Structure formats: structure tokens, C-alpha cells
Amino acid sequence: MSTKVQLPTSLKGKTILVAGAAGFVPSTLCEFYLNLDAKVIGLDNFITGSQSNVDILNKYENFTFHECNIYEKLPDFSGVEIDYIFSLASPASPIDFGLIPMEIMRVNSEGTLALLELALEKKARFLEASTSEVYGDPEVHPQTEDYVGHVNTLGPRACYDESKRFAEAMTMSFHKKFGLDTRIIRIFNTYGPRMRPNDGRVIPNFINQAMNGEDITVYGDGSQTRSFCYVTDLVDAIHNVMFSDDPTPFNCGNPDEYTILDAAKFIIKALDSKSKIVFKDLPKDDPKRRRPDLTKLQSVSDYAPKISFEEGIKRTTEYFKSL
Ligand code: NAD
Ligand code: UDP
């Protein structure tokens, strides 16, 4: 008998709440579930999300949107049945860590708490979107879920890393103390259409610089690595975890690992760009190597990333050109 996740082919009659619906990954997730015929309720305060992402979702009659700050006040959901809650609201770009640290810490702590309490009230299944950042600058490579991390509570990334670690701890506490049906995912670097052109993360930076003939800004000597996942592959991984029956964390991403310098050269070539590479200071605590070990997710599901880096860069470039 197969022990693999049984994925639903339709979610007709089910209601899904997505916190962060105006954002890059969450809006793509909303559209995926709308296409499975679920009713989707989106929440966002637009701190890093955009109205254009909501406009795409508003074309589906099963989508409703509430503009709200989830750590201040959730909408009144009395009388509304909710089956699944996805906790994805949080800024995620390192440039935001210095600009809006309080907002990041509050959404991942107080915001996640509010969503967990709503899940308890509605008897909904709850998924927390954590991050590979919980591993910090890892000493174990590739990173497995049992690695507890190498983090700096006082560093420039701490507002994000530590609040996501807190969100994981709180999610697990709700599971253990109240029996809430919970899932935790640790997302590795994901890119694709609907990211902000000025997001500050490496792929939008490099594509926009290459498109406009500007210098490509490699931080440090570019020998640090990341493993880049195209957004629809990430949504596939999230879906597999949500429909698994395991409350412990799952890495989600694509294990194809690039040095940042190689990623810069790849994008220059793919866009046939005249841009030159320039080297800038490496930010403090920038992780040196990062690659997900996907053994755990692949032991419970048939998940495998489908979109190559080449194809993903092509699609993302088309998106930025269309803006
Ligand atoms: P994003 O910024 O595009 O999306 C996050 C959304 O949350 C935004 O629309 C933002 O406005 C909203 N939001 C933030 N604070 C809010 C609040 N207080 N109330 C209501 N809405 C709020 O970022 P993303 O890259 O799509 O990330 C989505 C989730 O995935 C985040 O939780 C992030 O930490 C996690 N994640 C993403 C990556 C990645 O590579 N993209 C990696 C690891 C983890
Ligand atoms: N980076 C870079 N140039 C940029 C933006 C980022 O060299 O214009 C580097 C950054 O220092 C890091 C990697 O690219 O080593 C990934 O950065 P990103 O901000 O996308 O995400 P992180 O994985 O650091 O959270």
C-alpha cells in the first residue's frame, strides 16, 4: 500500500484563508486553490504586497479579499466556515529587515497567534510558512529538517529569523497543547512573476539590472550559494505538505544550487545583456551556503520541481518586461 500523500483533485465546497494574499507566493497559492474550485479568502495590509496581485484574484468569483493588518484586527468571521488556513503574511526580503523590523516581528508573532486562535475556533487545518532562514548561516549542508540552526539573535536578520522560529514554536505548541491540526514548511529561495521589481532579493535585482543594462550588483565575491525554486513548484510543495499528515517541519524548494556569481553570469547570458558585474560589500551574517535536503518531503509525496532555472528566468523576465 502506498504511504504517499493523497492529493485532492477538487476542493469544491471547502474554504481556504490565505494571509498575505497580495504577496508574491501567497497570491500564486490563492490562484492555485481557486483553480481547484475552493472558496478563497485573502487578507493583506499591502506592506509588501500589491493591488495588481489582488486584481488578478478578483477575477475569480470564489475569491473575497479583506484589507487588514492581521496583528491588529482580523475581520469578523462569525458564521463563516474555514477549512484551511495558510499563514503566509510576512515581508521576506533582507532589505526589509532593516526598514520594517517591528512589523516583521509583530506579524510573525502576534499575527501568527491570531491566525492560530482562529484555526482553533474554526477547527481548521493550519499551515505556517517558515523559512530556511531558521537554519541561519548553516554548518550542515544540505540542510535537513533536524538541523537546529546557527543563528544570531542580535544580527541584522534576527527580526525575521527569530520571529519565524517563534512562529514555528507557537504552531507546534498549539498542536501539542490543543491538538490543532498543523503543518510547518521551511521555504528556500523562491522567485518568479509577481515579485516586486524593487524587491531587493537577488533574482529581481539581477533581472531588472540586466534588462536595463545597469551594473549587476554581486555582494561579496559571489561564492555564496543559493538554491532557487520557481514559484509554481513551491506551491506544489506547499500543497503536498498541507495534505500530508505530519505536523513536523518540511523543507520546500528546489535543490539546484548556484553560486551567486554563476547566477549573475547565467542571467546576463539568458537576457543577452551588456551589463557588467560589480562587486559590493557582503551584508553581515549573509548565509554562505544553502540547499534544501528534500528527502523528507519526497518520502511522503511525489513532489519534484519541474521548472528549470533557465525556464524560470525566462518567465520571470517576461513578467518584468510586461510591467
Ligand atoms: P511577499 O512580501 O510578496 O508576501 C507577503 C505578503 O504578506 C505581502 O503581500 C504583505 O503585504 C503581507 N503582509 C505582511 N505583513 C502583514 C500584516 N501584518 N497583515 C496583513 N498582511 C501582511 O513575500 P513572499 O516572498 O511571497 O513570502 C510569502 C511568505 O513566504 C512569507 O511568510 C515569507 O516569510 C515566506 N518565505 C518566502 C520565501 C521566498 O523565497 N519567497 C522564502 C522563505 C519564506
Ligand atoms: N545578493 C547579491 N546581489 C543583490 C542581492 C542579493 O549578490 O543585488 C546576494 C545576497 O548577498 C545573498 C544572495 O544574493 O548572498 C541571496 O540574497 P536574497 O536577498 O535574494 O535572499 P537571502 O537568501 O539572502 O535571504
Note the ipTM here.
Answer: 0.99
| Pocket-testing residue among 95, 214, 219, ligand 2, by greatest number of atoms within 8 A of Cβ | 219
Point out the ligand nearest to the CA of residue 278: 2
Candidates 254, 260, 268; CA nearest to 309 is 254
Whether 43 contacts 20, CB under 8 Å: yes
Q: Whose CA is nearest to atom 13 of ligand 2?
A: 202
Q: Which are the contacts of 98, defined by CB distance < 8 A and separation ≥ 6? A: 156
Q: Ligand 2 within 6 A of 214 CB?
A: no
Point out the ligand nearest to the CA of residue 52: 1
Catalogue all structural domains in the chain, each as residue range(s) with its CATH number. 15-194+231-253+291-305 (3.40.50.720)
Question: What is the reported pLDDT for 185?
Answer: 99
Give the C-alpha separation, 200 to 243, whole Å. Answer: 33
Q: 234 CA distance to ligand 1 centroid (A)?
A: 14
Whether 310 contacts 12, CB under 8 Å: no
Q: pLDDT truncated to tens, each residue of the chain (323 aa)?
A: 557 999 999 999 999 999 999 999 999 999 999 999 999 999 999 999 999 999 999 999 999 999 999 999 999 999 999 999 999 999 999 999 999 999 999 999 999 999 999 999 999 999 999 999 999 999 999 999 999 999 999 999 999 999 999 999 999 999 999 999 999 999 999 999 999 999 999 999 999 999 999 999 999 999 999 999 999 999 999 999 999 999 999 999 999 999 999 999 999 999 999 999 999 999 999 999 999 999 999 999 999 999 999 999 999 999 999 99
User: pTM to 2 decimals?
Assistant: 0.98
Whether 186 contacts 132, CB under 8 Å: yes
Question: What is the reported pLDDT for 3?
Answer: 77
Identity of the amino acid at 314:
K
Per annotation, catalytic residue among 33, 71, 160, 258: 160
4: exposed, middle or buried (Cβ count in 10 Å: 0-12, 13-18, 19+): middle
Q: Ligand 1 within 6 A of 88 CB?
A: yes
Give the C-alpha separation, 309 to 317, whole Å. Answer: 12
β partners of residue 126: 85, 182
Q: Active site includes 230?
A: no
Cis peptide before 142 (omega within 30 of 0): yes
Whether 271 contacts 214, CB under 8 Å: no
Q: Ligand 2 within 6 A of 224 CB?
A: yes
β 216-219/277-280 pair status: parallel
Q: Whose CA is nearest to atom 35 of ligand 1?
A: 129
Candidates 110, 137, 99, 94; CA nearest to 19 is 110
Whether 293 contacts 144, CB under 8 Å: yes
Whether 195 contacts 221, CB under 8 Å: no
Give the C-alpha separation, 28 to 283, whole Å. Answer: 30
Question: What is the reported pLDDT for 2?
Answer: 54
192: exposed, middle or buried (Cβ count in 10 Å: 0-12, 13-18, 19+): buried
Q: Ligand 1 within 6 A of 187 CB?
A: yes
Point out the ligand nearest to the CA of residue 89: 1
Q: 195 CA distance to ligand 2 centroid (A)?
A: 15
Cell of 133: 532562514
